[in-house]
A and B are shown apart, each in its own frame.
Chain A
Amino acid sequence: MPLVISLLAVIVLVVIALAGTGSLGLQYLFGVIFPYAALATFLIGLVYRVITWARSPVPFHIPTICGQQKSHSWIKHSKLESPYTTLGVIGRMALEIFFFRSLFRNTKVDLKKGPRLVYGSEKYLWMAGMAFHYSFLIILLRHLRFFAEPVPFFVTALQTLDGFFQIWLPIIYITDGLILAALLFLLFRRLYDVKLRYLSMAGDYFPLFLLLGIAITGYLMRYTTAKADLVEVKELAMGLLSFRPVIPAGLDSVFYLHIFLVSVLIAYFPFSKLLHMAGVFMSPTRNLANNSRAKRHINPWNYDVKVHTYEEYEDEFRDVMKAAGMPVEKE
């Protein structure tokens, strides 16, 4: 059901964009107003969410430790899995953000006859995650050729690298293939794995379909005869960037569909699980050092509580303590 709803939602979006820029002629709405609105929603929404998180303190020092603590000099301390210093924390976070360290640990449990539990390495999710995120990043950076004049050297370099195999014309980018494979795998996994299928919600399928829609419209414009006039695309992009928006005459519906789906994605971002992009930086189980006995962590709302003092305790038990020969404060 959530799967169908998500797919329908994306189909509705497609229809809206096609109708809007087809017969209705709302090119300005889809080419200018929606992108601006989406970008504003994205930036304001994301900053707002991050600030909301930051307005709540981290009262307790709760890193999840995944390696040997720093104790004796003769015990090898795991600097990245159990960081003791800020530098160590930066290292741990870098591993997490750039290499999905925790996901790399993933295992799969099998219950065999015996009964015997067997743990196998399970790297597919990690691989698909890495493939998707890095492809997405590279594709995003490659798109800078539409947003920067002159095109910065690193964009050209990325293009060359990404098109290393020089297959087809225009050259097929490796990341274009990878992202499709990764997205399809992630979708397949949600449906194939019984556990995941049970827990998946519309909010899990919708971004996948949306991203697939974005990828496919991109492929259409690059690899098929539905090619867009790139110079016009860049004109539109540069117009948006310089706040002098223009709608070039020759852009087709496929192009508007592409940027409409992108607009929806970025506007949807701050309201959805996609927030994990920002949230991973704010996770107190990862971004704190394992030094809580060496350095006092302050809880800003640490309030006084009703305690049971020694005096109250001794008052209740003084007689039995004396009888047992235990020292007391008051005779």
Chain B
Amino acid sequence: MAEEKKTPEQLAQVQYTRPGYKWMDPKVEFKKGSYNYGAVKENAEYMSLPYPRKWQPFDADWNLPDNWQEIIFEGMRERLDRFRSFRVFMDICVRCGACADKCHYYIGSGDPKNMPVLRAELLRSVYRNNFTAFGKVLGKIAGSRPLTIDVLKEWFFYFYQCTECRRCSVFCPYGIDTAEITMMARELLNLVGINIDWIVTPLANCFRTGNHLGIQPHGFKDSIDFAVDELEELTGVRVEAPINKKGAEILFVAPSADYFASPHYYTLLGYLALFHEIGLDYTWSSYASEGGNFGLFHSAEAMKRLNSKIYMESKRLGVKWILGGECGHMWRVLHQYMDTINGPANHLEEPVSPITGTRFDNAKSTKMVHIMEFTSDLIKNNKLKLDPSRNDHWNVTFHDSCNPARAMGLLEEPRYVIKNVCNHFHEMPENTIREQTFCCGSGAGLGTDENLEMRLRGGFPRANACKYVHDRFGVNILLCICAIDKATLPPLLEYWVPGVEVGGIHEMIGNALIMKGENERATDLRGTPIKEVAEGKEVTEDV
């Protein structure tokens, strides 16, 4: 890979032309940098997934079970009977092409099978062949093709080149959601033992230890304790961070990267500072130490298995309700799935902010509140003392993460908070934010190093919009509320738009939050020096 490394200019030489072969002829080439490694056998076994084996996508022989086609057809039949979305989306696409140039992978790669419509056709063609009268009779003319090993390989290649970001679904006149189709395809691939390591290993880790990273309880505690020490060093305030505390009012669940990866870590410091300052009676849990859910990227069943811990733990600890941290797909699961798959949460109470008394009516059944809803309410009710000038060295933009935007509609809460804690805020162009936001290009389990070229391509539209505000307004940090974003955008931006860092909103809150008894802050939470207050004032007056 090293010798083939392309410059941004080379990688952006994308041609939106027709290749010399028809899309119906399956063709897939496992080029380095454009696919993910196969699942490790032991982890697949730990999760009791079907047909665990040693396997890699580039192997000529995938060692499929003998009756793999039957398994897939049976799987399709079962899913067609279980998911109306699948059946309807297989039947009604008119191939108008409105979705085509909405996909970040298509924009970044020019590969026509990355147009959402053709991605779906890969599966639809087999559906027609085996499940529709016209397809059976007319064959290729009706757009149907038999399920061959090459078709299966193509499925693997392209359904692991979809980040389930649902941008295409916003533009589809029938709301056809490629994420649904990708989910079905991945479930079908799983039935014959085709999975990727970057999804199955986090699944196994999370199932066993409670978080994707496989951090054991004492490691989790160390990590939180370390953050408490570091926060004290930075602010002079010693905060409490209770873990597995029974009888706390609120259970707090964040994505595990927040306490183990950078720049997530500064967001963690922000949470800790905030919860201390408002005197929140809350607890972390080591058993439910993961808000994210890679099960979403694998199968409805895996999602349910991982998600079950949150309600079970809230019951064991006897909390009143649950607060969730900054994470993208985590919130897709919590907002749209959790109550259905693991509810009803009758052991919890309807969430009420203990600080402001605000009732979160929109979460009264699931009983889980997004931290942006919680914090924006604190600010609105003047419960926080904030000094936004402490973020004056940051010129910020906000990247709507796919799922909070398109699964929840959480658009204004983060912006409201940002405007209260940062003085310099610039939006990226309107076709790249809010419900039209672009994916980081690494979601849905695709954020691996081996897949780097595809990630850079997929992240190109987001990075390019960021470059616009960087060049124009001097934006030097992109804020987001998603752990995958925070993990995968730094290398992406370094590649496409050097000079822009990535941070979380609660990091900015942590910077701006004036804590009782704090030392004068010389640096922000990541150790970057804050401009002198006096100097800052002078600058403002000059302007």
Contact = CB atoms under 8 A, between A and B. Distances in A.
Note whether A and B contact each other (Cβ less than 8 A): yes
Interface of A: 2, 5, 49, 52-62, 64-72, 74-76, 78, 81-82, 84, 96, 100, 102-103, 105-109, 111, 115-117, 119, 125, 129, 193-204, 271-273, 275-276, 279-280, 282-286, 290-299, 301-302, 305-310, 313-314, 316-317, 320-321, 323-327
B61 to A, nearest CB: 31
Provide the main secondary structure of the chain B interface.
helix
A115 B210 contact: no
Given A310-B313, A327-B245, A60 B18 contact: no
23 contacts: A58-B84, A58-B85, A64-B175, A64-B177, A64-B406, A75-B376, A81-B409, A84-B362, A129-B96, A195-B97, A195-B112, A198-B18, A204-B94, A276-B174, A292-B366, A293-B339, A294-B363, A296-B343, A297-B340, A310-B287, A324-B217, A324-B222, A326-B243
A68 B112 CA distance: 32
A62 B81 CA distance: 17
Given A129-B173, A327-B244, A119 B431 contact: yes
A203 B142 contact: yes
Contacts of A282: 84, 88
B173 A59 contact: no
B32 to A, nearest CB: 23
A47 to B, nearest CB: 14
A117 B336 CA distance: 32
Contacts of A308: 207-208, 305, 309
Closest 9 pairs (CB-CB, A-B): A69-B409, A279-B92, A115-B12, A285-B175, A324-B218, A119-B431, A293-B366, A82-B409, A65-B409
Contacts of A320: 216-218
B70 interface: no
Interface in B64-101: 80-89, 91-98, 100-101
Given A107-B431, A115-B12, A295-B365, 6 more contacts: A62-B180, A107-B102, A117-B461, A125-B96, A310-B309, A313-B208
B108 to A, nearest CB: 9
A317 B23 CA distance: 52
B141 A202 contact: yes
B151 to A, nearest CB: 16
Select the residue from A65, A67, A298, A326 with max chain B CB neighbours within 10 A. Answer: A65
Contacts of B468: 116
A294 B336 contact: no
Given A64-B177, A75-B412, A105-B170, A199 B118 contact: yes
A283 B94 contact: no
Contact of A65 (B16, B82, B172, B407): B407
A47 B245 CA distance: 56
A307 B305 contact: yes
A199 B102 CA distance: 16
Given A62-B85, A201-B143, A276 B92 contact: yes
Contacts of B362: 69-71, 84, 291, 293-294
B540 interface: no
B93 to A, nearest CB: 6
A62 B181 CA distance: 13
A327 B217 CA distance: 11
A119 B429 contact: yes
B340 A61 contact: yes
Contacts of A54: 84
A236 B89 CA distance: 39
Select the residue from B208, B218, B308 with max chain A CB neighbours within 10 A. Answer: B218
B143 A202 contact: yes
Contacts of A203: 142-143
B340 A71 contact: no
B435 A66 contact: yes
A306 B97 CA distance: 41
A81 to B, nearest CB: 7
B118 A72 contact: no
A108 B100 CA distance: 9
Contact of A321 (B96, B133, B217, B432): B217
A60 B48 CA distance: 24
A161 to B, nearest CB: 27
Interface of B: 8-9, 12, 14, 16-19, 23, 48, 80-89, 91-98, 100-102, 107, 112, 115, 117-118, 121, 132-134, 141-143, 166, 169-177, 180, 207-210, 216-218, 221-222, 243-246, 286-287, 300-301, 304-305, 308-309, 312-313, 316, 334-337, 339-341, 343-344, 358, 360-366, 368, 373, 376-377, 380, 405-413, 416, 429, 431-432, 435-436, 460-461, 464-465, 467-468
Contact of A56 (B19, B80, B101): B80
A290 to B, nearest CB: 6
B166 A52 contact: no
A271 to B, nearest CB: 5
Nearest to B411: A68
Nearest to A83: B409
A59 B82 contact: yes
Nearest to B84: A56
Contacts of A62: 85, 177, 180, 336, 407
A102 B16 contact: no
A287 to B, nearest CB: 8
A78 B406 CA distance: 13
B363 to A, nearest CB: 4
Contact of A75 (B48, B336, B405, B416): B416
A15 to B, nearest CB: 19
Select the residue from A52, A70, A276, A298 with max chain B CB neighbours within 10 A. Answer: A276
Given A64-B406, A199-B117, A280 B412 contact: no
Contacts of A273: 91-95
B139 to A, nearest CB: 11
Nearest to A84: B362
Given A81-B435, A106-B98, A323-B218, A65 B405 contact: yes
B543 to A, nearest CB: 29
A115 B8 contact: yes
A194 B407 contact: no
Contacts of A69: 362, 408-411
A294 to B, nearest CB: 5
Contacts of A323: 218
Given A62-B177, A102-B170, A199-B112, A292 B312 contact: no
Contacts of A106: 98, 171
Given A105-B171, A290-B409, A293-B335, A299 B112 contact: no
Select the residue from B89, B175, B246, B316 with max chain A CB neighbours within 10 A. Answer: B175
Contacts of B366: 292-294, 296
B146 to A, nearest CB: 16
Contacts of A296: 339-340, 343-344, 365-366
A62 B85 CA distance: 9
Contacts of A74: 380
A325 to B, nearest CB: 8
B175 A196 contact: no
A197 B83 CA distance: 31
